[in-house]
Amino acid sequence: MVQAVVFAICAAASVAAGIAVFRVDSMARATLALLASFVLAAITLLLLDLSYLGVLVILMMTMEMMIMIVFMVMYMMNPAGLMPMTMVHNNRGALAISIGVFAVLAAGIFIVPWPDTRPGTPADPTLQLAEAIMGSKMLVMMVVGMVLFATMVATTVLSTDRGRYDRYGDDLRRSRPDDPIRGGAGR
């Protein structure tokens, strides 16, 4: 019963946060609303005892949205919402498509022949889901994930033109950092 209530709250709040994405004027607020929607959707994975996937979605979406906020503030013409703007284009077409998709999905609830009996919960639902999605390619995908992470770290390291040795000397004993622009933490 508690899980059903938490699911209903998360579902309603996720939809509300999704609507807020298109109602706020600030791109940063829109990104945070999108993050809230994704996190609330990930909580439903936690309710299904898919803790690895739920935590993975939360961490991945949090990092993705934080990066998105940085780029929104850097490149968008109205990042702080100081000018009126709309993020909705083709209102009638979008409304028609939304109503159509909702009708098809709602009809699918009644058309699909749902099973009568419920099988027992598997010992490791995360492993079973991973095997169902990736099959024999699961080891390859795990290696690809590590390679992508290493690539991101290496790209970040290589794109930084000044490191701690440039700032504090080869032995890291310089009392004040040698920064081209004064200010910040090492004033």
What's the token pair of residue 15? 């939809």
Residue 50, domain member (yes or no) = yes
pLDDT at 6 over 80: yes
Taking the C-alpha atoms of residue 106 and residue 12, their distance in angstroms, rounded to an integer, is: 16
Amino acid in position 88: V
Q: Token pair of 124, please?
A: 């490791």
Per-residue pLDDT reduced to its tens digit, 13-50: 999 999 998 888 778 888 899 999 999 999 998 998 88
Q: What local confidence, expressed as pLDDT, does residue 87 receive? A: 62
Query: Is residue 10 situated within a structural domain?
Result: yes
Task: Phi first, then psi: give them for residue 76, nearest 5 degrees.
Answer: -80, 150
Stretch 48-56: mean pLDDT, rounded?
84
Neighbours of 126 (CB within 10 A): 17
Is there a contact between 162 and 177 (Cβ–Cβ < 8 Å)?
A: no
Q: What is the DSSP letter of 135?
A: G
- 115 part of a folded domain: no
pLDDT interval class at 152 (50, 70, 90): confident
Interacting residues of 121 by C-beta distance below 8 A, sequence separation 6+: 49
C-alpha to C-alpha distances, 33 to 26, 27, 41, 69, 73, nearest whole angstrom: 10, 10, 12, 11, 15
Sign of CA dihedral 4, 9, 12, 18: negative
Whether 146 maps to a domain, the answer reads: yes
In this structure, is residue 54 part of a structural domain? yes
Domain total in the chain:
1
The proportion of the chain whose per-residue pLDDT surpasses 70, expressed as a percent, equals 83
Matching residue, tokens 């936690």: 46
Task: Tell me which residue range forms the domain holding 138.
Answer: 1-81+125-168
Whether 186 is in a domain gets the answer no
pTM of the model: 0.52
Determine, yes or no, domain membership for 18. Answer: yes
Judge whether 183 lies within some domain: no
The answer on pLDDT for 93 being more than 60 is yes
Write the CA distances from 28 to 34, 121, 137, integer angstroms: 10, 41, 38
